[in-house]
Structure 1
Amino acid sequence: MNTALDHSYRGEHPVRTLAYLFKEDRFKLVVAVFAFLFKHSPTWLLPLITANVINIVIGHRPIVELWGNTAVLLALLLLNHPFHLLYVRCMHGAIRRVGVNLRSALCRRMQQLSIGYHSRVSAAVLQTKVIRDVESIEQTSQQASDMGLSALTTLVGGLVVIAFRVPAAIPVLLVVVPTAAFLVMRLRTRLREDNESFRREVETLSSRISEMTTLIPITRAHGLERDALHRVDGTLTKVLRKGLKLDLLNGSFGALAWILLNALGVAFLTGSALIAYYQVIPITAGDVVMLTTFFTTLTSAVTSLLSLTPVISKGLASVRSIGEVLQAPDLEHNEGKVKIDSVRGEVEFRDVGFSYGEPGEPPAVTGLTLRAVPGETIALVGPSGAGKSTVLNLVIGFLRPTSGRILLDGRDMETVDMRTYRRFMSVVPQESILFEGSIRENVTYGLADVSEERLTRALRDANALEFVERLPAGLDTVVGERGARLSGGQRQRLAIARALIRDPRVLILDEATSALDSRSEALIQQALARLVAGRTVFVVAHRLSTIRNADRIAVMRDGGIVEVGTHEELMRLRGVYAGLQQAQLA
């Protein structure tokens, strides 16, 4: 399913990329094309059969010829249904499979891309690529196959019939039909431009309405309802004027396109009739009807092909957009590295430096040397921008040092398969992340066959069991998107339960109590005390009172460590840490 990851997209024309994506379904695409030829054949055979019927009637030819032509047409019409289903199964099935494969490949690649990449590219952009860009490719492929095959088979089939029946008409049609299609397209282009102008006005109105609804509390509080309505009314008036102008233009250009196409059809009919009347070339009355019908049909086919250009351009742009993610080089590489099956919890930084690579920005971490022994709690404190979060991401392995080394139990982390290391790690972030599911599913996320006893113990140790048992559905209560049905303290206690149930050897706490009220903070501090026992812990805390009992406190500034010690040692030192304490107490 995920062969889309094996392809190189960089610098390649998107048409070639599409050909690669459909590579596995080549046979089905060939079957689909032949099925379409059969199902669509009445479109370009009907004018020929109509001409035959007219000639049979006018020439009083044997009635059996009438029944023969009718039987052929009915047979082709009846075959339309099974061949159409075969076409849909093969063509649309291939397109749907490509869409599924692309979405799967994008999701896999997002799991492989580094956290640095995800910090630069917003989640909304990636979501758009997975949903909208893939949808655009599916729609482009479907429209190009449905409309494109329809137009091409009509065009080729019609020209073959005419070449067989009235070959002298081919040069005329090859000149007149493209000219008519070009003129019609020019009128449609003007209509598109005016529609785009109206669309922009509607978007402005949407923005105004959104702004008005957001500001309703302020508007009502200051008695500014009249002013708010006046702003919206002004935009509504513009939309009204643009809409009426657009309707008139659409009506005018639509009528002109209709008149032009039909006038050319009348001219072609008259010319064909005169040629038949004076026998300039030997054509019958039926041939005149056939040629006139084909003129309209072929013109519509060429117009359809021309109208596919913007649709195909949009689809190819989406192919390029998806290729940017599938070919992004910023990956976390784990293949071929050492898989570990146990962790003691010794983490050592040796002269570690890290830079995000932004021009003009100083390194986020520089010259960092620090060793955490198994079971030790190390707190990182310091002003905003000191490098604390970068250090946590280095411990997790989201970031890799640009200089120096980080050792895990004496082994260079560059040589370790980080996926196996993270099985022995848990993270409790500042904002707990829950997904739309039950409490049971959120706490046991990624674990199989978790016993009720183990789950209950983790919830109890996290001080979460008391509120879970009060919920109507208990463990099966659905928490809502991002845990919206729970309070901040409840969400954080579930995050701690999720960490406890994994029994990690290395624990990361990133300001886990910074946004909570005093009661929730007290419950969570009790839960954290149980969580950190016997584990190597790296903790970042905004409130210094929460890390007083840490084994060591590392004070950071400008990406480096300026002080290390216990709370009492650092207070006696009267340095940076003491100053931070005094500032918070003040």
Structure 2
Amino acid sequence: MGDGVQDLYLRDRPVRTLARLFRGQRGRLVVAALAFTLKHSPIWVLPLLTANVIDVVVDHRPLTQLWINAAVMAVLILQNLPLHQVYTRMLSRAVRTVETGLRMSLAQRLQELSIGFHRRVSAGVLQAKIVRDVENVVESTRQAFDSGMAAVTTLAGAIVITAVRVPQFLPVYLVAVPAGALLVVAMRRRMSARNAAFRAEVEHMSARVSEMTHLIPITRAHGLERDELDRMDATLVGVRNAGIRLDVTNGWFGSLSWILMQLLSVATLVGAAWIAWTGRFGMSAGDVTMLSAYFVALTGAVTALMSLTPIIAKGLESVRSIGEVLTDPDVERNQGKALVAEVRGEVELQDVRFAYDDAPDEAAVDGLSLHVRPGETIALVGPSGSGKSTVLNLVIGFLTPTSGRLLLDGRPMTELDLRSYRRHLAVVPQESLLFEGSVRDNVTYGSPELGDRAVTDALRDANALEFVEAMGGLDAVIGERGARLSGGQRQRLAIARALVRDPRILVLDEATSALDTASERLVQEALARLMRGRTTFVVAHRLSTIRGADRIVVMRDGRVVETGGHDELVAAGGAYAALHQLGAAPAAG
């Protein structure tokens, strides 16, 4: 699965969608079905052979028939091993291929969906779709195939053999088997309330455990361990009591179901025995045993088919959930647009307005016009909610202006392939995004062809080479999300990553806001090297970070209220001067 995977999905038609998903696996599924039918055949053939053996004994038939039936039984039993392997391999390859394709398609779609989509949908929800929903689809398909094939082949085999050998008994099956299965299913349905209550208690316990672990520092700091344990104990007692009630209910229904099935089986056995004893229909003693065994098997098969309903429903609901992502139209469309082979770094915003979908009447940026020359450093300052971060996202291409135009080197960005444009751009955010791996892996992310010399030079310019060598060099592992590094060290690695890309446009979003004074000095030195000769957009709350900008743009409520150099704006005594007097430029835009 890859490009155009959304075409496989039909809204509100999950069954057809599921069939489309497995369209490429039809050959394997057919082989799996044939292998299952043959390997499962002892379930419905052995009662017939058992009947033959009993008739050999009762009627004193030639012993040759006994050995023939015994040989057939042995062959049927032994063939299960090789055919089960064929079945398992074919079914596993089919479902695992679909599983991998679904997860890859979701990952690909997440890379295509707009930042607006990712702003609306939490990462936890998306992770659940990739992990849990795909797993539900696969496991539901596997269980439906396993149980469904077993039930269908048992029903077909038993009914066909009965129709050939004792056709007069078929009406008994047609009435008694569905009735018995329906009674069992009806009894199980009555357990749903207990199951729901137990699930609610488990979910409550899960929430309490999460809360308890989150509060451990506060609990320990205030000596409230006993109080917290008392609260947890009450929650666990609730789970225990609900579990006991569920187990007792399961015991009652399990016992009643067993009694019901045994009584029906005895009734079938006695009825068949009476018919055989009276000599009606030409039934033999072996037929009595066969029909009794088939009744149990058929009832179990019908019950299994009915029990598949919630399993299938769970899988189809996950198909719908996955389809919400794969068919969401909010994608960044780059196909057919002009590739950006070279960037000079000229950026121009012409009367740009932008409003988020959840607040279309409230402009985050309103009437913004700004012409940035190649190599110029622009600092954006202003109070929280003034629109600074929105401007950065517009420059990166994450957002498209609601009205107005944004030009790159004189070309409208709406006409450009933004993926190729971003190869000439680097972002250093407030919280540097690193992954578990080596220093080399993180610095060369997106540029794996770079040699060690280029990486070492970038680390040196980013003031990171000293601590990297102390850790063990380029192959040193930094831990999950850079857990082995301090905040300043993580930022300097992020700067090194930006340096090796040699970007023409640079975006610094609160790159030093979370650092102490010593770390900030080292990061500022590295940033100064990184910014040299590059068009740079800076958002910062420390005025020391933006003092050297070529121009400072002061924003409020999505509009530009002042523009100029540091000394010019301080002398003007306006909004920037007020911020300077406070010694900070409030961040978050």
Normalized against structure 2, the TM-score is what? Answer: 0.96
Segment of structure 1 superposing worse, 258-267 or 69-78:
69-78
**Are the aligned partners of 2:6 and 2:323 in contact in 1 as well (CA < 8 Å)?**
no
Aligned residues: 585
CA spacing shift, 1:566–1:7, aligned 2, 3 Å:
same
**Are the aligned partners of 1:4 and 1:21 in contact in 2 as well (CA < 8 Å)?**
no
Aligned match of 2:496: 497
| Letter matched to residue 300 of structure 2 | S
**Secondary structure in 2 matching 1:365:** strand
Matches within 5 A, 1:496-515: 496-515=495-514
**Secondary structure in 1 matching 2:502:** coil
Matches within 5 A, 1:135-214: 135-214=135-214
1:433-486 Cα deviation digits (max 9, x unpaired): 001111111001111331222111111111111111111x22111111111111
Matches within 5 A, 1:82-481: 82-359=82-359, 361-471=361-471, 473-481=472-480
| Letter matched to residue 300 of structure 1 | G
Q: CA deviation at 1:157?
A: 0.8
Q: CA deviation at 1:371?
A: 0.6
CA distance in 2, matches of 1:100, 1:209: 32
CA spacing shift, 1:359–1:509, aligned 2, 3 Å:
closer
1:351-374 Cα deviation digits (max 9, x unpaired): 111111224640111111101100
**Are the aligned partners of 1:155 and 1:298 in contact in 2 as well (CA < 8 Å)?**
yes
Q: CA deviation at 1:220?
A: 4.5
CA distance in 1, matches of 2:333, 2:235: 53
CA spacing shift, 1:71–1:8, aligned 2, 3 Å:
closer
**Are the aligned partners of 1:378 and 1:553 in contact in 2 as well (CA < 8 Å)?**
yes
CA distance in 1, matches of 2:449, 2:244: 65
Q: CA deviation at 1:182?
A: 1.0
Segments of structure 2 that go 5 or more residues without pairing to the other structure are none
**Are the aligned partners of 2:347 and 2:373 in contact in 1 as well (CA < 8 Å)?**
yes
CA spacing shift, 1:129–1:478, aligned 2, 3 Å:
same
1:336-395 Cα deviation digits (max 9, x unpaired): 111121110000111111111224640111111101100100001111111111110111
**Are the aligned partners of 1:147 and 1:304 in contact in 2 as well (CA < 8 Å)?**
yes
Segment of structure 1 superposing worse, 84-93 or 176-185:
84-93
Aligned match of 1:579: 578
Q: CA deviation at 1:169?
A: 1.0
CA distance in 1, matches of 2:469, 2:232: 50
Segment of structure 1 superposing worse, 66-75 or 144-153:
66-75
1:410-430 Cα deviation digits (max 9, x unpaired): 111111111111111110001
Segment of structure 1 superposing worse, 226-235 or 134-143:
226-235
CA distance in 2, matches of 1:97, 1:166: 45
Segments of structure 1 that go 5 or more residues without pairing to the other structure are none
CA spacing shift, 1:585–1:184, aligned 2, 3 Å:
closer
CA distance in 2, matches of 1:553, 1:46: 87
Q: Alignment identity in percent?
A: 60
CA distance in 2, matches of 1:465, 1:55: 88
Q: CA deviation at 1:213?
A: 4.2
**Are the aligned partners of 2:434 and 2:481 in contact in 1 as well (CA < 8 Å)?**
yes
Q: CA deviation at 1:190?
A: 2.7
Q: CA deviation at 1:239?
A: 3.1
Segment of structure 1 superposing worse, 512-521 or 71-80:
71-80
| Letter matched to residue 581 of structure 1 | H
| Letter matched to residue 324 of structure 1 | E
Aligned match of 2:546: 547
CA distance in 1, matches of 2:466, 2:97: 47
Q: CA deviation at 1:65?
A: 1.4
CA distance in 1, matches of 2:252, 2:65: 46
CA distance in 1, matches of 2:331, 2:449: 32
CA distance in 2, matches of 1:327, 1:581: 49
CA distance in 1, matches of 2:226, 2:128: 38
| Letter matched to residue 541 of structure 2 | H
**Are the aligned partners of 1:8 and 1:327 in contact in 2 as well (CA < 8 Å)?**
no
**Are the aligned partners of 2:379 and 2:549 in contact in 1 as well (CA < 8 Å)?**
yes
Q: CA RMSD in A?
A: 1.7
| Letter matched to residue 513 of structure 1 | T
Q: CA deviation at 1:241?
A: 2.9
CA distance in 1, matches of 2:283, 2:84: 35
1:23 aligns with 2:23: yes
Segment of structure 1 superposing worse, 21-30 or 175-184:
21-30
**Are the aligned partners of 2:6 and 2:326 in contact in 1 as well (CA < 8 Å)?**
no
**Are the aligned partners of 1:347 and 1:407 in contact in 2 as well (CA < 8 Å)?**
yes
CA distance in 1, matches of 2:244, 2:82: 46
